[in-house]
Amino acid sequence: MNEQKNILVPIDFNQKSLIALEQATSVAKLLKHDIMLLYVHEESGIFSKLFSDSQGEDKVLETIQLKMDEIASQFNKLSGVRIKNMLAKGRVSSKIVEIAEIINSELIIMGTNSEVEFKKTIGANTHRVVRWAKCPVITINGLHHEKGCRSILLPLDLSIETRQKVTRAIEMAKHFGATIKVVSALWSKSNKEVATRLHAQLNQVHNYITERNIQCHSEIIDSTQNEKTLVPIILKYAKEQGDIDLIMIMTQKEIGFVDYFMDSDAQETIRTSEIPVMCIAPKEIGIIQSKGF
């Protein structure tokens, strides 16, 4: 018998993590997955600070477990999704990645906690989970999100690794009944070689998606301002579209003709996007070559 697939949702009881859980129930319904709610207890964590002066660690853990049970029950009643919970001890980011692998999670959905993180970088825990997790990670930064997914934004560059997002986007679009919007940003209009290659790749990906009965729109976006990265261009486009509910990026530096969504750009996207971001770690190049791109 196949083990029931699950989505891992780390929680620390703040607003962003509860929004992430709400989003996760919507995704879990469509994917027919369970949810595993995870709290990682650190000695420097919020509950330790609240209770350590007057109560022992056992009482702290008991308080956390009761809160976890309450939230799991509440969201189960609201969504109908089966929600289990787990309390672990250790370093937050390491334990999230470890548990995700142990329980074979298909996806991690987590809040970024940007209200308490550095202004110019994403928080350390978010950064480590996104970089280390073997499964895709969806980060939640905004406060209001659609239930479900109307359109998926798929930014592409000329690297081989970036095309790995295509297969994942098709899978998600089929589950959600979503449209895929494929975009490439042209940094230099005068570079005809880059423009030609981007157009060729865009057409190829567009055809690949539509052949699989997914509605697809594709577009080249011109950079008209002096942005230091392409991220603001992509996010501005996403906001203007009005129906994009998920942006898919790669988490590690991609080596191609155009440097795009390098690690620093991935961080900028996660930190500044109010739209949920799905982060995918590049796999071996041979895998994507077999897809026919």
DSSP 63-127: HHHHHHHHHHHHHHHHH---EEEEEEES-HHHHHHHHHHHTT-SEEEEE--GGGS-SSS--HHHH
Coil vs helix vs strand at 152:
strand
Coil vs helix vs strand at 173:
helix
Does residue 103 have a pLDDT over 80? yes
> Token pair for residue 112?
């970024």
* Segment 268-280 mean pLDDT: 89
Query: pTM (2 decimals)?
Result: 0.83
Evaluate whether 135 touches 108 at the Cβ level (below 8 Å).
Answer: yes
- Pick the closest to residue 165 from 273, 266, 37 (CA basis): 266
> Token pair for residue 45?
């964590």
* Segment 141-158 mean pLDDT: 81
Helix ranges restricted to H, 103-246: 124-132, 164-176, 192-210, 231-241
Cβ atoms < 10 Å from Cβ of 2: 4
Q: Which CATH class is domain 151-289?
A: alpha beta
Q: Taking the domains of the chain in order of start, what are their residue ranges? A: 6-140, 151-289
CATH topology of domain 6-140: Rossmann fold (3.40.50)
Does residue 284 have a pLDDT over 50? no
Local confidence band at 40 (pLDDT 50, 70, 90 cut-offs): very high
pLDDT of residue 254: 42
* Segment 102-124 mean pLDDT: 70
